[in-house]
Amino acid sequence: MKSDAGAAGASTSATVSRWLDCAAVVFTKELRVELRTRYALSAVALFAVITVIMVSAVLVGASVRADVKAALVWIILLFAALSGLSRVFVREEEAGTAAILRLTAPPSSVFAGKLLFNLALIGVVELVSVPLFLLLMPVEKLQLGLLMVILTAGGAGLASAATFTAALIAHAASGKSALYPIISFPVLMPLALIAVQATVGAFDAIPIHILRAWNDVGVLGAYAIVMTTASFLLFEYVWHE
Amino acid sequence: MSRLHIEDLSMSYRGRTLFSGLSLTLDPGQRVVVSGSNGTGKSTFLRIVAGLTRPDAGKVSFASVGAASPPREHLGYAGPDVNPYEELTAVENLEFIARLRGLPIDAAALLDRMGLTARARQTPVKSYSSGMRQRVRLASSLVADPALLLWDEPTAMLDEQGRRVVDEILTAHLEAGGMALIATNDSNEIGRWGGRRVHFGDR
């Protein structure tokens, strides 16, 4: 009996280890391909940087309220995400490489590898565009710690939702670029509204807003957890033809 | 060694029946050539056996394993619908597949066997000719030393030397107790490979 339990434990451990290995291999491949082509990074980062510069140039000298600035930050991040995060799955289908993954890797580990890559991509975009935004459109009473937590939780939810939506539309015979924002819109709308509300607290530093922002961080975290869990549960149905 | 069982397989596409009630058994050391003109369902049949497409009805299984469908590690699939990653070199492509399967690999030796030069092996696939890409596809199907090879038009785009390599690999695979399902519409190849044949006709 004891040896049966031991064997089952070893088998589970081997399965988990293999799953983690596969996710890491998919992530490393994504990173290697991206470093050689810079397709997604160019699309996402250039969109974010250009938009930040254009917005700040248009609003130069104007007194912009904290809530408007918060909305601008998330509009830029959302549209930057929509411009590039779908590539992880769309590129596989268009290039005819998706079957390699279907034949060799557990579906959930493929999703995990792709999600990790999109998380890294969103992280880089936030690291570049948000400091640039704050440089060009300064926020006097910035709550930096709170903002970083909001960006982390919001970025995780954004990456998770965008990755799953990308998997959904990748099979479409045509019109992927139109389908992606249409399907993403209702999924990302609640995240955007909460993220903007939370960021207002980080920008205006009004105590009641800060308190509300910390509550919103919890909601953003819950959104990311629910979205990631649902994505892992549903991905296998989306992935196989 | 496993035996491949295909039972009562049926598939239709957009209201057109591609095949129905197709049954086939493949023992170690056997090959079946799947022939027929374009659009008759040869590739779909191979994709179903590979587990890439779900059939309308029927079952594909390995007798000794007792699985509902052939486990992935038993299969080596190469077809025009599976391309290598263009941004990676041939060696990186094979290493990627081997790592996903948790297997060790001597990618250079495998590509050498397929007739890809050392210089070509280190160049991204996007610079390859279509014949070289086909060699990478075939090498990818051999990574796990699978029991069952599923090759869809394996000699398409290959020169005479490449065709000889395919024949040599296939012979060695069957002599070692492997099985192969090969789809082609080339009458020369059908004659050359011989063995059992399943013909997909126009409906």
| Residue-wise pLDDT tens digits, A165-197 | 999 888 776 777 788 888 888 999 999 999 999
| Rg (alpha carbons) of chain B, rounded to whole number | 17
Q: What is residue B124's DSSP assignment? A: B
Tens of pLDDT, residue by residue over A97-116, are 999 999 999 999 999 999 99
The verdict on a CB contact (< 8 Å) between B52 and A29 is: no
B140 to chain A, any CB pair closer than 8 A? The answer is yes
Cβ proximity of B196 and B179 under 8 Å: no
SS3 sequence of chain A: CHHHHHHHHHHHHHHHHHHHHHHHHHHHHHHHHHHHHCHHHHHHHHHHHHHHHHHHHHCCCCCCCHHHHHHHHHHHHHHHHHHHCCHHHHHHHHHCCHHHHHHHCCHHHHHHHHHHHHHHHHHHHHHHHHHHHHHHCCCCCCCHHHHHHHHHHHHHHHHHHHHHHHHHHHCCCCCHHHHHHHHHHHHHHHHHHHHHHHHHHHHHCCHHHHHHHHHHHHHHHHHHHHHHHHHHHHHHHHHCC
Contacts of B14 in chain A (CB under 8 A): none
| Average model confidence (pLDDT) across chain A | 90
Distances in Å between the Cα of A29 and the Cα atoms of A128, B5, B97, B135 are 23, 35, 11, 21
B123 to chain A, any CB pair closer than 8 A? The answer is no
The shortest CB-CB distance from B96 to any of A29, A102, A240 is to A29
The CB-side HSE value for A240 (13 A sphere, CA atoms) comes to 17
How do B4-13 and B16-26 pair as beta strands?
antiparallel
Can you tell me the distance from the alpha carbon of A66 to that of B50, in angstroms, rounded to the nearest whole number? 56
Long-range contacts of A137-145, Cβ-Cβ distance < 8 Å, separation of 24 or more: A137/A55, A137/A56, A137/A59, A137/A64, A137/A69, A137/A72, A139/A66, A139/A69, A139/A203, A141/A203, A141/A204, A141/A205, A142/A202, A142/A203, A142/A205, A143/A201, A143/A202, A143/A203, A143/A205, A143/A210, A143/A213, A144/A202
State residue A62's pLDDT score: 84
State residue B190's pLDDT score: 82
pLDDT at B112 over 60: yes
Q: What is residue B73's DSSP assignment? A: G
User: What is the average per-residue pLDDT within A75-97?
Assistant: 89
Q: If phi over 0 gives left and psi between -120 and 50 gives alpha, with beta otherwise, what is residue B44? A: alpha
User: What is the average per-residue pLDDT within B181-200?
Assistant: 85
Looking at this protein, which amino acid is placed at residue A52?
V
State residue B89's pLDDT score: 95
The model's confidence at residue A61, banded by pLDDT at 50, 70 and 90, is: confident
pLDDT at B19 over 70: yes
pLDDT at A128 over 80: yes
pTM here is: 0.90
CA nearest to B92 within chain A: A29
Contacts of B96 in chain A (CB under 8 A): 25, 29, 100
Contacts of B123 (CB under 8 A, 6+ apart): B89, B90
Can you tell me the distance from the alpha carbon of A41 to that of A205, in angstroms, rounded to the nearest whole number? 33
Contacts of B51 in chain A (CB under 8 A): 102-103
State residue B124's pLDDT score: 94
The shortest CB-CB distance from A33 to any of B51, B54, B85 is to B85
Backbone angles phi, psi at B193, to 5 degrees: -80, -30
User: What is the average per-residue pLDDT within B138-149?
Assistant: 93
The distance of B46 to chain A (nearest Cα, Å) reads 13
Percent of chain B whose predicted confidence (pLDDT) is above 90: 65
Can you tell me the distance from the alpha carbon of B159 to that of B130, in angstroms, rounded to the nearest whole number? 11
The model's confidence at residue B71, banded by pLDDT at 50, 70 and 90, is: low
Q: Which helix (H) or strand (E) holds B101?
A: helix B90-101
Tens of pLDDT, residue by residue over A6-33, are 777 777 888 888 899 999 999 999 999 9
